[in-house]
Structure 1
């Protein structure tokens, strides 16, 4: 009678974890993710913790600690007492609403027309849009300012909004989303007697909702966080946007306090974080659905 040695069962990954690779690969992936998380979210967390420090605690230097010893909201109260935050928020919201409305209107209609093959010059327009994305904003900044000055829009919210009323990247994004709509859907609409506007409104727009959401979020973030162009155009405090107005906290006239500056930075980024947290699921779906085909 022969006996066979019983081999110990090797630990195997479950089918769910097997799809992600070996344990060593998983560890490397998580380490890279933690590194990226620290580089992106770390500065924001540090600013928030620094804004909670009291006047006797150091923000920089060898004696500075990461966590505040005596958390306080004194810096946030100073922000609202030193500058008119409500006025800045109102002006920023006006610029954001104008930018989102114009971007959605012109990018969807222009993207729809570029997705149609039956008109001459379509490829030339597409090439011009792609070429316009190769020039940085700084290269056309002076000419834009001269145009805004000639129109009499210096020191106005409209002057801040007008240069960004439509973006080439958003037009190409919507074009890719409309190209992904099956041709059979439009053919069926034409057989039912739907006009061009009806096909655009009832067939194409519902199919490109993901790309529309991406355009909305990108426009909101870029218009809300813009600093350079408002700095060039705006003069009076009543017309300043939030990012530009809060930068005045760094001037010596307000008694430069590092904690107050950190609190102002946190206030300016809160709306963007709230918007992204609420819409992140649809944002990623829209990127994968409409942003891959230009």
Structure 2
């Protein structure tokens, strides 16, 4: 007796053809090419202001005031860099002032942020969670609200027209940096800390010998954030500094704007020179910085 067998039903949707491996590879290549095109277009949009700054720095005084403005200069005037830097304003002195303020502020940020970050991450206290939430709450206070009270305080201390109002507050911690370091510290295995404590290591030794060497990416990210923030600091500088010899580079750039005319070509030339330390520092510490930003905040404990 013969048993009639039925073919297995085709479960695929009607009207939809299967895609071969070659077709799937072509689709993936097309998607990848489209993603690259979008990234290149976005990069061009973000680079356009920088390219405008470079071309403006190479224009002549007449082309600087031409209307409608032209993107490319007719000839390159590299003397704008020398004229802007060595002109009537002492930009070499401004550079030294900016380096001193930035270096001391970075040191203050690291010293004042590492200690509370370690305490919030690895030391237990009754009000630890409340104090951590209170510290994060300070990030919601607008910066402008504290300008007048801080100025009154520093004026009574006699610190106006000195670098102290720009440097001393950096030694009292920055909530954002403390938060980032605390989050990174929590990713370090607790077993290392416990083993060090069993061996008799103090909290200072644990911090110095274990936590900081393992936290180089996070420290690099904090240092880069601090460097950029203090290097470009303008608001506090214009409030507290009075003497021209004590000005920083951002204040010197603002002095290019005259009452009747503005030397945009020289301003852009000096701006490019002042921007170079940030660009060089970023490319030197790029891998460490990106790794620190990526790993910071992974642990939510």
TM-score between both structures, scaled by the size of structure 1 = 0.88
Which deviates more from structure 2 when the two are superposed, residues 31-40 or residues 119-128? Answer: 31-40
Cα deviations across residues 209-228 of structure 1 (Å, max 9, x unaligned)?
11111110000000001111
Residues 24 and 146 of structure 1: CA distance in aligned 2, closer, same or farther (over 3 Å):
farther
Q: Provide the residue aligned with 2:208 in structure 1.
A: 201
The partner residue of 2:281 within 275, 278, 289 is: 275
Cα deviations across residues 6-58 of structure 1 (Å, max 9, x unaligned)?
xx9835539xxxxxx83443344334323432333221121011101123324
Matched, 1:120 2:107: no
Q: Provide the residue aligned with 1:74 in structure 2.
A: 79
Which deviates more from structure 2 when the two are superposed, residues 28-37 or residues 256-265? Answer: 28-37
Q: Give the CA deviation at 1:262.
A: 1.4
For the residues of structure 2 that align with 1:229 and 1:39, how far apart are their CA atoms?
Answer: 31
For the residues of structure 1 that align with 2:89 and 2:193, how far apart are their CA atoms?
Answer: 54
Count of residues in correspondence between the two structures = 279
Check whether the contact 2:187–2:298 (CA below 8 A) recurs between aligned residues: no
Show structure 1 runs of 4+ deviating over 4 A.
Answer: none
Check whether the contact 2:64–2:265 (CA below 8 A) recurs between aligned residues: no
TM-score between both structures, scaled by the size of structure 2 = 0.86
Q: Provide the residue aligned with 2:25 in structure 1.
A: 13
Q: Provide the residue aligned with 2:9 in structure 1.
A: none
Any idea what SS the aligned residue of 1:249 has? coil
Matched, 1:131 2:137: yes
For the residues of structure 1 that align with 2:75 and 2:249, how far apart are their CA atoms?
Answer: 28
Cα deviations across residues 77-117 of structure 1 (Å, max 9, x unaligned)?
22121210111111111111111101111111110011124
For the residues of structure 1 that align with 2:66 and 2:41, how far apart are their CA atoms?
Answer: 23
Any idea what SS the aligned residue of 1:250 has? coil
Which deviates more from structure 2 when the two are superposed, residues 117-126 or residues 270-279? Answer: 117-126
Residues 9 and 108 of structure 1: CA distance in aligned 2, closer, same or farther (over 3 Å):
closer
Cα deviations across residues 227-260 of structure 1 (Å, max 9, x unaligned)?
111111111111111111121011238x632211
Larger radius of gyration: 2
Q: Give RMSD over aligned pairs.
A: 2.2
Q: Provide the residue aligned with 1:65 in structure 2.
A: 70
Any idea what SS the aligned residue of 2:285 has? helix
For the residues of structure 2 that align with 1:36 and 1:142, how far apart are their CA atoms?
Answer: 40
Check whether the contact 1:214–1:287 (CA below 8 A) recurs between aligned residues: yes
Q: Provide the residue aligned with 2:13 in structure 1.
A: none
Residues 60 and 190 of structure 1: CA distance in aligned 2, closer, same or farther (over 3 Å):
farther
Q: Give the CA deviation at 1:271.
A: 1.1
Matched, 1:288 2:300: no
